[in-house]
Structure 1
């Protein structure tokens, strides 16, 4: 296994380098035989990563502790599912997973039927193979997954308890699929620029790739937030941790890209902007990997004791400078025949404003993330940027984006008249004002919260009107009943109405964020057996403190009987888990869910006489955040499910002869 595992990596590296050279020769000679050979090399490189991945999974599942990676991240007491998910618990395993996805994407693009005979293929493959070669190099010479120990240990160290959670089964996988997925539109954009192909063919061909990468990034962030909420025991879901920020920044710029490409397709505008956005999104995925593995910033998510940061920094600089060089060398060509904005009050202007807000949000997160490094370099002191900075900067940006999202569906292309604006926005404005008044009446007093819920109400009604008018027009023509008309309207306009579903999902997420960030309550109290804790309309009676054993782990738990307004809600058991092979215990909170709020209970400490200290939190609107996340994913899948490229044929203006 040791020999086969290492050989698969070194052979994969050699094949990838060979394939890259063959593609370059094929481009230079314009010879399809070389291109076909390079494509075969791409498939062989993927097989090498698949073999290496299968071997590592086998070693983890069968407790081969003589391998350092298996010893460091598994133990015999670990359930099989967590032995397998230890695959991405450490540096070398996670990088192997990244390489597997990257080579898989490369194969899918190169062998796609829609790309058969396309002259962009060798350029796209060369760019993606450069990434594959880098990761093979790291796996072969820096972070080796198949290192043998000098002596065979009896037992492994075990998996970090924080990773022994269902959320960690999917969170890293979805995040990596999103990260790696953004390499595809980057490769297409660079290939189009090199070939001097300035039409929107590359955008249409990568639409699905970009949407899927965006969806996986969304899922990664959502699952990470859910994991933090149920596993870390602090009662929150987002702490603006550097590694959280690293996955959020490319999500913001990819969101901007997905919106602005619509303007290029329809109005032939924002070409430079779109290429710049995809370069930035791709660079931010590498920057996030650098943050996780460099150790320059402290994070609960980061890999410790890593010397990989410098390698990723060099590769990121190479990729960004290379992308910018290609962009600037084609700048005049890109600007030629570009469309122009005709009015500030137009759909295309709203898209541009939305993009500026998204990029501004990404820059604010980027600055807050790297500021400790800047301060240390300039002043010699690392100044930490905390949650208040991010909340203060991002809150108005979030509300502004929600407002633009609300306006965009009902505003006209090219130019909107005063009559059009009155017709489309009078009733939504009245509805929003009424919603804000009702918020004040029911006790919502914070200004940002009132404005936020007013903007969300405005967004919900404008999107409702879009669905209502579409269904009404269809029923007038087809005489269909409302459910049938709605379904067929959406199916025949998947991209449009899928996007609206995503907007609704983001609106519900915003409802949860505003409620949980502005109206949460918390108390900490030490009580004796039989005593109670009261918070808001809840009464929590401490009935029991006990201990049980699960495998090699000891669990201290408390029985808490919950009442709300005198009505019994049952008994909850917050826990403190002590692991047999891990020094730090973890808190497992008990959570009472409702659509109004969550009651979040944490066992903090206890005494020999039975007294215990509990942290009790009320987190309003949390279920709306998770509901919005589900709607967001459904909307994305709906938009991408059966989208068709149509009869698209490449239009190349470059002087190079097509490879066919």
Structure 2
């Protein structure tokens, strides 16, 4: 049930980011808007629970902590609805003021009191039966993982509520913008990427130094090689440099998990490579489905790092025949087409695209004015490949036929959506029910003798 809800929360966040990128026409997919933040908060605590519950399953530990994470996830989901419906926080995504705010607050208060009472009253049943054997263990890495997720949750919640807190304390509403969230969460994200690579390499209970060094040797070599190569090709910004290098480290560690598991099947079960790989992943769906999810998340981090760190943009008012150059692209304004539809007045600008010495067709960003709603909608033009997106936004249209255009080159953004698809596939694979093994009584028909059942042995 946790994977099911986490999957739909992940899909909702990805669809929201895609919608913002394609439909809103401002050149981004995440703006740290309060409602966006409210959707991310339960995802963070839910992800923390998915990791810590594995310790509970294997070691019978962290029961109280897991209950706290479940309650937090539920409360933060209600909090997101409260932010959206109450109008207490200004957001382009909120639905305005309503009288539902006090009801949501009352419900959240009741939920907190009830959950606290239940956890305290049943603390003996929830008490851990075991303890950590070593700091150098997979259990410890999961605990660090949880602390980082909770730290990110607190930082985002604090930034989201800060305007309300500042107004209540000082009488002045101080808005916290993207610089705060980026400054706080970029180091947290890098730490999460590092732990994503470390966790599969450390043994449960206690990792010996020999095991630690043997498992880390090749992934660490890949990390330092990637770091040197990326620095050599001109990447000097610390955040993307570490993100890309650590991503190579993580992907290598995940690859070796599949490699070692398949090799073990070949060696001990006398299977060929394809049968061994198939049996490996289908007999351990949660584990290897989780690795697929981690792969998707790493690709998302790569896309975020590339698109946020290396985006370039240019703006220009252009007449017919004018050209704007950005990166390897040369865009020539060929004309403006204006026409009416039953619901809107449409203005479409055409630009001939030249990438290096190659023509790539026409770009047609447009604006749609809807008289009944008195609203103008921007339809952006996006040309996407695995390396970068060409993103064109049509601005103001002047009476002399000239237009204001904003052109952006956004690197690696396609990997965010690819990573999202992989995340969905991995989650579905992990949660897909395995075939139940039939018991002895189910596989062996009851024997009959003289029309009477023979007593079968107890199993």
Global fold match (TM > 0.5):
yes
1:380 equivalent in alignment to 2:175 = no
1:230-629 to structure 2, matched below 5 A, reads 230-335=22-127, 337-629=128-420
Q: d(CA) in 2 for partners of 1:597 and 1:442?
A: 17
Report how far residue 342 of structure 1 moved. 1.3
Q: TM-score, normalised by structure 2?
A: 0.93
Q: d(CA) in 2 for partners of 1:351 and 1:342?
A: 14
Q: d(CA) in 2 for partners of 1:645 and 1:339?
A: 30
Deviations 1:55-78 (A, max 9, x none): xxxxxxxxxxxxxxxxxxxxxxxx
Deviations 1:580-637 (A, max 9, x none): 3212201110001011100100000121211111011111101111100000000000
Structure 1 counterpart SS, 2:153 = helix
Whether the aligned pair in 1 keeps the contact of 2:88 and 2:97 (CA below 8 Å) is no
Q: d(CA) in 1 for partners of 2:208 and 2:20?
A: 48
User: More strand by proportion, 1 or 2?
Assistant: 2
Q: d(CA) in 1 for partners of 2:372 and 2:275?
A: 58
Report how far residue 330 of structure 1 moved. 2.1
Report how far residue 554 of structure 1 moved. 1.1
Structure 1 counterpart SS, 2:158 = helix
Q: 1:644 to 1:257 in 2, by over 3 A?
A: farther
Q: d(CA) in 2 for partners of 1:368 and 1:401?
A: 20
Q: d(CA) in 2 for partners of 1:409 and 1:253?
A: 21
Q: 1:461 to 1:236 in 2, by over 3 A?
A: same
Q: RMSD of aligned C-alpha atoms?
A: 1.4
Q: 1:645 to 1:279 in 2, by over 3 A?
A: farther
Q: d(CA) in 2 for partners of 1:214 and 1:533?
A: 44
Whether the aligned pair in 2 keeps the contact of 1:576 and 1:586 (CA below 8 Å) is yes
Report how far residue 451 of structure 1 moved. 1.0
Whether the aligned pair in 2 keeps the contact of 1:495 and 1:643 (CA below 8 Å) is no
Report how far residue 479 of structure 1 moved. 4.5
Structure 1 counterpart SS, 2:346 = strand
Whether the aligned pair in 2 keeps the contact of 1:601 and 1:617 (CA below 8 Å) is yes
Whether the aligned pair in 2 keeps the contact of 1:541 and 1:561 (CA below 8 Å) is yes
Structure 1 segments of 4 or more deviating over 6 A? 644-647
**What residue number does 2:450 align with?**
none
Deviations 1:541-569 (A, max 9, x none): 11011112232211111011111112111
Contiguous gaps of at least 5 residues in structure 1:
1-208, 648-660
Q: d(CA) in 2 for partners of 1:583 and 1:304?
A: 19
Q: 1:557 to 1:324 in 2, by over 3 A?
A: same
Deviations 1:456-503 (A, max 9, x none): 110000000001111111122445443333222111111100000000
